[in-house]
Structure 1
Amino acid sequence: MSVVEPVARQLAAYNQHNLAEFIACYAPDVRIYRMPAIEPSLQGRDALAHFYATERFTLPKLQAAVLSRQVVGNKVIDHERVTGLRDEPYEVAVVYEVQAGLISQVWFFAAD
């Protein structure tokens, strides 16, 4: 399995607001960081599922598009444009670490 596969699957599920398919792409002990924080903002599949069920997938226009993608070892680095979360689209760099076919860590770097 390519390291890109779980990242691509989670993005498709994100855009469909399909919580079960989205969460299935992540390791049970996944850690999510919103940089420059040094502690995870979310840890574990249950916390991730709760956050996306209550804070993201309730937004009907929420979508993300990959503007560019790079792969370095087991890291997938996406430059994404997110719409439907704020009044205007915004861009973010996201680094996904993939281990054993699942996303184990994610680092978000907001453009603003």
Structure 2
Amino acid sequence: MNTTEAIVQEQLDAYNSRDLELFLSFYSDDIVILDFPGEKVTISGKEALRNVYKEMFENSPKLHCEIVSRIVFDDKVLDHERVSGRYGVDLVEVVAIYKLREGLISSVHFVRKNTK
């Protein structure tokens, strides 16, 4: 496992254990979370990330993310993820594209399934 992949895996492990401070430690202060395609920003900055995930972790005691598949390419990791146990939602399936800069996750694009 290379360093880029290890960082993304460690943040996933922190997510699954709902360890907010450890989870946040893998993100840059200027983290940006976006919906793909396009550039719709859903979270901007580490404090906003803290607020969103603090609530999620506190209200989702059975939260768990399973990696269906992973591609590591240069400074990016693409994960096909299935998230269960999230409050208010039975199952979420996304592709997350993590981009790293200087050893921290600097942006994440989420590709969501089309729902009809």
Q: Identify the residue that residue 80 of structure 1 maps to in structure 2.
A: 81
The AA in structure 1 aligned to 2:34 is: Y
Question: What's the CA shift for 1:64?
Answer: 0.2
Q: Identify the residue that residue 46 of structure 1 maps to in structure 2.
A: 47
Q: Deviations over 1:80-104 (max 9, x none)?
A: 11101212x2321000001111000
CA distance in 2, matches of 1:30, 1:7: 14
Which consecutive aligned stretches of 4+ in structure 1 deviate over 6 angstroms post-superposition?
none
For these two proteins, the number of residue pairs brought into alignment is 110
The AA in structure 2 aligned to 1:111 is: K
CA distance in 2, matches of 1:44, 1:5: 22
The AA in structure 2 aligned to 1:21 is: L
The AA in structure 2 aligned to 1:74 is: D
- Give the alignment's TM-score, normalised by structure 1: 0.91
Unaligned segments of structure 2, at least 5 residues: none
CA distance in 1, matches of 2:35, 2:17: 23
Q: Give percent identity, aligned residues only.
A: 37
The AA in structure 2 aligned to 1:25 is: F
Aligned-residue RMSD, C-alpha: 1.3
The AA in structure 1 aligned to 2:100 is: V
Matched, 1:99 2:88: no
CA distance in 1, matches of 2:11, 2:78: 14
Question: What's the CA shift for 1:36?
Answer: 3.6
1:1-112 aligned within 5 A:
2-54=3-55, 56-57=56-57, 58-85=59-86, 86-87=89-90, 89-112=91-114
Q: Secondary structure at the match of 1:40?
A: strand
Unaligned segments of structure 1, at least 5 residues: none
